[in-house]
Amino acid sequence: MNERPGPFSDVLACHRAGRYREAEALLLESLARQPRQPDTWNLMGATLAGLRRYPDAENAYRRALALQPDHLGALNNLAVLLRQTGRAEEARRTYLETLRHEPRHVDAWNNLAALHAARQEYDQALTCYRKVLELQPDYGHALGAAANAMAMLWEWSGRASICQRLADGIRAGASVTVPFVVLSHLDEPELQLAGARAWARRFDAVAMGPLPVWQHDRLRVAYLSADLREHPVGLQIAELIERHDRRQFEWFGVYFGPRVPGDATHRRLRLAFDSFLDIARLSDEEAARRLRALEIDILVDLGGHTLDGRPGLVARRPAPIQVNWLGYPGTSGASWIDYIVADRFLVPPESRSGYSERIVYLPDCFWVSDSQRPAAGRVPERVELALPAEGFVFCCFSHSYKLNPAMFAVWMRLLRQVAGSVLWLLAAKPEAEERLRREADRCGVDPTRLVFAPRIDLAAHLARHAQADLFLDTLPFNAITTTSVALHAGLPVLSCSGRSFAARGAGSLLQAVGMSALVTGNLSDYEARALELATHPERLASLRRALAERLQTGPLFDAERFRRHLEAAYRAMWTRWQGGEAPADIVVRAAGTATAA
């Protein structure tokens, strides 16, 4: 969309401010005067897409292309829309059509790369991102997207250079990546904050007018998420929502994820909330106005800067108090988020400056767990899992992007020192697994000592943990959900804590379950502790017994205790707001009282 004088510049100004209905009215006037303008139809398509009126948007793009078949903007925008509406193969063909007309169309290369990445075709995605960076080295977030594709493929050549370029770009104030990618590449809270701020500023102009003043008998709290279903977020919070106090609070679930018929977790959550709204088809502006109309007091964003987040909605400030919690393990960097839920281990004093929000310090742990999650199924024999009948099993069931050369080098040294041991990893793409086997061979380890576990249902996954001896955590992006699952299955987790939220998440869970002996502060200690436990079975057995006991008596899986602490934080936030006080750090004590820090 090229900026033009007159109505076009007015329409683009409306776009930047998220005022799509005004833009639509201006475009309708223009089309009434000159109906055969492909540029106007293309801009109408983008406007209607912003309103989530996807069939009408597609029709507008096709009107533009009927008038000008080689209209590059309409072709590219149509492909984006096709991908958004689940027609990935049509989108791919349309991007290729765009590139046939203009092989140097950098937007089309970037969007084609994103489509491949969404389909987990990371080799093709990386090829496209490299083309983007060849054509325009400073193009948008392509550098971070390329880094993420490399991480998913375990393609580590040039990783140090990529990390340095990300750091340099963020320090220079450039928007070189989405915030999530930074978490797995740079363990520097200040850089994570700068990167998040650069991203969040894109949405600053869309805030609605001042909030009206309202009063309710009960505090209205809404949880906003695309993941209120069988997803780590939905699975973790279900029991919490069921236990929430209904005398002092009213609870709203605000969902914008896919339709999931037959999803038991989604059904459980719909029943647990007092009110459940599906806003998937609403634009950010419409959804924000809907929440304003409901007079929500506290909006808890469970997505943050994850792939399915709705920052354009939250930036409109639909609620007087807005909270970042659970889904995104880092600062939002946003002026429109007031608080982040954490704990003292997660955000130590020396890292406080890396957060834009006021911090809620819970007494035990920032994490909530569902004690009612499905019981483990039948424990399979090792041979069924492709594991050796004898020998020590190190495991790590983290996502591929969390592995990196430094961690893998430690793991390979452990395999060399512990005879007969294996490393059990979650399955990845075949080309990535082969790349990792070659890396093991370069480290002097027989590649067959890497065993890849297929993805299976949760109960069976819990059951197979019994055949592992020690879970090895990752740095700088800890296994957080995965640590919770492993601990619930009774498997000790060895973690190495860094400086940032994502690098301290597993340590927070281990502290809460009374297993601080499994939290190390550097990779040398991490390696030494892993070797000690692998070669002294009586010490590992003692840790397993202690973990089993503390799972029953400790706070990590006590959803009722967590509920009291979180609700105390919500009350403290609201008390400050009602008193006309600005947000401040809040300390929640074990007794359930909360005060400003």
Pick among 3.40.50.11380, 3.10.150.10, 3.90.1640.30, 3.40.50.720: CATH of 208-371+562-596:
3.40.50.11380
pLDDT digits over 35-48, tens only? 999 999 999 999 99
Q: Residue 594 carries which side chain, given as an amino acid letter?
A: A
Peptide bond just before 476 cis, omega within 30 deg: yes
Phi-psi label, residue 6: left if phi above 0, alpha if psi -120 to 50, beta otherwise: left
Question: Does residue 309 register a pLDDT over 90?
Answer: yes
The length of the chain is 597
Question: Does residue 523 register a pLDDT over 90?
Answer: yes
pLDDT digits over 170-182, tens only? 999 998 999 999 9
* Dist CA 576 CA 235 (whole Å): 32
Burial of 531 (0-12, 13-18, 19+ CB in 10 A): middle
Percent of the chain whose predicted confidence (pLDDT) is above 70:
99
Per the CB < 8 A criterion, the answer to whether 27 and 47 are in contact is yes
pLDDT digits over 454-473, tens only? 999 888 999 999 999 999 99
Percent of the chain whose predicted confidence (pLDDT) is above 90:
91
* Dist CA 560 CA 581 (whole Å): 30
> Model pTM?
0.93
Element (H, E) at 396: strand 393-396
* Dist CA 425 CA 22 (whole Å): 52
Question: Does residue 74 register a pLDDT over 90?
Answer: yes
pLDDT digits over 203-262, tens only? 987 778 888 888 899 999 999 999 999 999 999 999 999 999 999 999 999 999 999 999
* Dist CA 523 CA 229 (whole Å): 36
Domain ranges of the chain: 1-103, 116-206, 208-371+562-596, 382-553
Predicted pLDDT of residue 294 = 97
Predicted pLDDT of residue 209 = 83
Which of 63, 344, 371, 337 has its CA nearest to residue 224?
A: 337
**Four-CA torsion 329, 335, 338, 344, nearest 10 degrees:** 40
Strand arrangement of the beta sheet that strand 219-225 belongs to: 275-278, 249-255, 219-225, 298-301, 321-324, 339-343, 358-362, 586-588, 594-596
* Dist CA 152 CA 130 (whole Å): 15
Is CATH 1.10.8.10 what the domain over 382-553 is classified as, yes or no? no
Per the CB < 8 A criterion, the answer to whether 225 and 255 are in contact is yes
**Terminus-to-terminus CA distance in the chain, angstroms?**
49
Q: Of the given ranges (194-208, 213-227, 313-327, 474-488), which has the lowest mean pLDDT?
A: 194-208
Categorize the per-residue pLDDT at 1 as very low, low, confident or very high, splitting at 50, 70 and 90. Answer: very low
Superfamily of domain 116-206: Tetratricopeptide repeat domain (1.25.40.10)
* Dist CA 127 CA 132 (whole Å): 9
Predicted pLDDT of residue 481 = 96
Neighbours of 349 (CB within 10 A): 7
Beta bridge partners of 294: none
Predicted pLDDT of residue 5 = 41
What average pLDDT does the segment 355-379 reach? 91
Per the CB < 8 A criterion, the answer to whether 256 and 278 are in contact is yes
* Dist CA 398 CA 417 (whole Å): 23
In this structure, CATH architecture of domain 1-103: Alpha Horseshoe (1.25)
- Of residues 552 and 563, the one with the higher pLDDT is 563
Distance of CA 203 to the CA centre of its chain: 18
Predicted pLDDT of residue 16 = 77
- Which pair of structure tokens corresponds to residue 563? 């509920």
Predicted pLDDT of residue 7 = 67
Same fold, 116-206 and 382-553: no
Categorize the per-residue pLDDT at 505 as very low, low, confident or very high, splitting at 50, 70 and 90. Answer: very high
Question: Does residue 544 register a pLDDT over 80?
Answer: yes
Average pLDDT, the chain: 95
Beta strands, E only, 46-109:
none
